[in-house]
Structure 1
Amino acid sequence: MNEEAVDIPCELQEETGFAYTLSRVSGKYKMIILYSLTGATPVVRFNELKRRLGKISFRTLSLTLKELESDGLIIRKEYPQIPPKVEYSLSQRGQSLIPVLDMMCEWGNIHSNDPLN
């Protein structure tokens, strides 16, 4: 199969929908966090997310959640109590990304055993 590369000028690459989407979901944990919030419990507390993600540090998780919140992909709800209680869920904008993540998962399932060229 012979595919030709598409030559996109550097100054236009950042103005595409593809580049915009990548800028919102790129990073080691962003897509995993978004996908974690689609499970049986759509509202998840910080420590539960930490358990689901495994080796992520508290600082990295905190910073990543702040980025996802500022991008409008998740909703952070804080309850005024002691000890503090904070819950995270997908926003409508975040939910609209789930079909894209599902398609990526499907592609990976189909091609994960392909021989490399």
Structure 2
Amino acid sequence: MGAGTGMMNMDSMQSMMKTMMPAPGDTASTKDFKSADMKMMHDMAVPYTGNADVDFRTKMIPHHQGAIDMARAALAYAKDETTKTLAAQIIKDQEREIAEMREWLSKNAPK
């Protein structure tokens, strides 16, 4: 993927951010999903190091945590059992993967 490929323009980014902001009439689940989105975006805003292995894991940890937070909201609010089963599996898988990435970073990331 080239340098400009897949990059959002400023208008797209602003539009995306607006969809994450609380709005009148949001349900409790929507508020929790939006909160998870905002936290994930904030936590992913760390500088790149130039080391693809480190940068990938450093960005994926908050991305996975965002998935966990959204899955927890799904467990709290979803009515469909398949949604709840999927959410529970996502939590299990993503927590394991976060632990693996942190372990790798503790051994391999420059200090």
Normalized against structure 2, the TM-score is what?
0.31
Greater C-alpha Rg: 1
Structure showing the higher strand proportion among its residues: 1
Normalized against structure 1, the TM-score is what?
0.30
Structure showing the higher helix proportion among its residues: 2
